[in-house]
């Protein structure tokens, strides 16, 4: 293992890209829920 050299750019990033895509999607949906909740509260409370 110590004999192996790391070659920059040789690692597959497919799993990281999927994770990032899921994270950004989750954040987007969470923000939408927060905005809708604030609008509903504004309309109810006036």
8 — alpha (psi -120 to 50), left (phi > 0) or beta? beta
Longest dimension (CA), the chain: 69
Q: What is the pLDDT of residue 2?
A: 67
Radius of gyration of the chain (CA): 21
Rounded-to-integer distance, Cα 45 and Cα 39, Å:
10
Predicted pLDDT at 1: 59
Q: Which residue has the higher pLDDT, 20 or 9?
A: 20
The pTM is what?
A: 0.66
Closest CA to 30 of 18, 42, 22: 22
Placement of tokens 């504004």 in the chain: 42
In this prediction, residue 8 carries a pLDDT of: 85
pLDDT tens column, 14-46? 999 999 999 999 999 999 999 999 999 999 998
């Amino acid at each position: 293992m110590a004999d192996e050299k790391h070659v920059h750019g040789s690692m597959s990033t497919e799993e990281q890209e999927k994770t990032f895509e899921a994270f950004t999607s989750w954040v987007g949906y969470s923000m939408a829920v927060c905005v809708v909740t604030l609008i509903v509260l504004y309309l109810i409370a006036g």
